[in-house]
């Protein structure tokens, strides 16, 4: 483990307390990627967002909350993120075993507003302290007609978290308002959402991988005038990282829906690494697979992020 690497990253967080930095250190020092400056986080909030069958029926052992604690530990993940009840199910048994991130707001598939999507607050900073969490996590939807309400909630929770030495992870997912479906992952929009999360004081920013699409005409003109290279996923990742205070804030990228083609997933992880991204937060692509395959996939993701050799995935021939 390289303490110097972690300290160099933490040097960018000048306004944070020793407590918050200690919790960031815990995540950066944990597991298979400890000391590399990279992160691989297992998030399991999909049961809230999509429902239990859509999330776990493909791999029934994943209905058990403890399954996910064990998976994060066995694979050597940097942290485990989940809503209140799921963390409560295993926080005592696994106390101190790995850093936890309490997801403090959630949406659900039973209700929604396409123009004004939002999330309900479902937990707080004191819950995170009670459960021994390293951080709270909160989703914002830049572009939503309810975005200002979400930003105000984030401001209050982030201030409380900082005062109590807890790190803040922000899921910044632009959607709603006038954004098109393609616009939610457009490079200009993803970079804007990531930058907005940094401006709100996020210690770690989570965004989706950016496409080459440009949603905002004025932004497209600015990109063209500045000659910003958007030709590859790695170049687009590099631009998002640049938008996060020139790389002085930790930004990780979503793994998205489960992929049958592991080679395609590993290509994305290589692009994150080559673009200077800090890592991946990867849920359905892991816990929706059988245990041995999930562990193998997660360890391979971490090896790629760390610059180790990439093996040929077992299903590569079937996927081509």
Per the structure block, which two tokens stand in for 46? 């999909």
Q: Is 130 helix (H, G, I), strand (E, B) or coil?
A: helix
Q: How far apart are CA 3 and CA 22, in angstroms?
A: 12
Give rounded-to-5 percent helix, strand, coil for the chain: 45, 15, 40
pLDDT confidence tier of residue 151, bands split at 50, 70 and 90: very high
Domain positions in the chain: 3-308
**Beta strands 135-140; 100-103: pairing state:** parallel
Annotated active-site residue 164? The verdict is no
Tokens of 169: 């992870």
How confident is the model over 145-159, as a mean pLDDT? 97
Question: pTM, whole model, 2 decimals?
Answer: 0.95
Q: Report the candidate in 144, 149, 227, 159 with the shortest Cα–Cα distance to residue 193.
A: 144
Whether the pLDDT of residue 52 is over 50: the answer is yes
Q: Which pLDDT value is given to residue 318?
A: 39
* 212 contact partners, CB below 8 Å, separation of at least 6: 187, 230, 231, 236
At 124-133, the pLDDT tens digits run 999 999 999 9
Q: What is the pLDDT of residue 113?
A: 77
Instruction: Say which of 206, 208, 221, 235 is annotated catalytic.
Output: 206
Q: How confident is the model at residue 314 (pLDDT cuts 50, 70, 90)?
A: low
Other CB atoms within a 10 A radius of the CB of residue 30 amount to 25
What integer pLDDT is reported at residue 308 of this predicted model?
A: 87
CATH top class, domain 3-308: alpha beta
Residue-wise pLDDT for 7-34, tens only, equals 999 999 999 999 999 999 999 999 999 9
- Tell me the C-alpha distance between 192 and 94, whole Å: 37
Confidence label for 98 from pLDDT (cuts 50, 70 and 90):
very high
Strands (E), 53-164: 79-82, 100-103, 105-106, 120-121, 135-140
Task: Supply the pLDDT for residue 312.
Answer: 66
């Amino acid at each position: 483990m390289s303490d110097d690497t972690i300290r160099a990253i933490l040097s960018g967080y000048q306004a944070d307390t020793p407590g918050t930095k200690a919790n960031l250190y815990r995540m950066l020092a944990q597991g298979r990627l400890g000391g590399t400056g990279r992160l691989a986080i297992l998030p399991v909030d999909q049961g809230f967002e999509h429902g239990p069958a859509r999330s776990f029926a493909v791999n029934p052992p994943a209905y058990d909350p403890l399954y996910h604690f064990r998976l994060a530990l066995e694979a050597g993940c940097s942290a485990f993120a989940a809503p209140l009840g799921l963390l409560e199910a295993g926080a005592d048994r696994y106390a101190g075993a790995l850093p936890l991130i309490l997801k403090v707001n959630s949406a659900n598939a039973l209700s929604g507003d396409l123009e004004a999507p939002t999330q309900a607050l479902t937990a707080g900073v004191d819950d995170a302290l009670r459960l021994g969490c390293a951080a709270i996590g909160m989703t914002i939807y830049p572009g939503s007609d309810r975005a200002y309400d979400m930003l105000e909630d984030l401001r209050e929770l982030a201030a409380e978290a900082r005062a109590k030495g807890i790190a803040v992870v922000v899921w910044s997912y632009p959607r709603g308002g006038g954004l098109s479906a393609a616009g939610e992952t457009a490079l200009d929009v993803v970079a804007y959402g990531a930058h907005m999360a940094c401006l709100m004081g996020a210690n770690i920013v989570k965004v989706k991988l950016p496409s080459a699409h440009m949603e905002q005409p004025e932004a497209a003109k600015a990109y063209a005038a500045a000659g910003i290279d958007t030709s590859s996923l790695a170049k687009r990742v590099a631009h998002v990282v640049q938008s996060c205070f020139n790389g002085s804030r930790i930004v990780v990228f979503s793994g998205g829906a489960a992929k049958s083609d592991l080679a395609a997933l590993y290509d994305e992880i290589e692009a994150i690494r080559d673009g200077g991204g800090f890592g991946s937060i990867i849920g359905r692509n892991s816990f929706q697979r059988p245990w041995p395959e999930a562990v193998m996939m997660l360890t391979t993701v971490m090896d790629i992020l760390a610059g180790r050799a990439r093996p040929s995935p077992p299903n590569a021939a079937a996927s081509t």
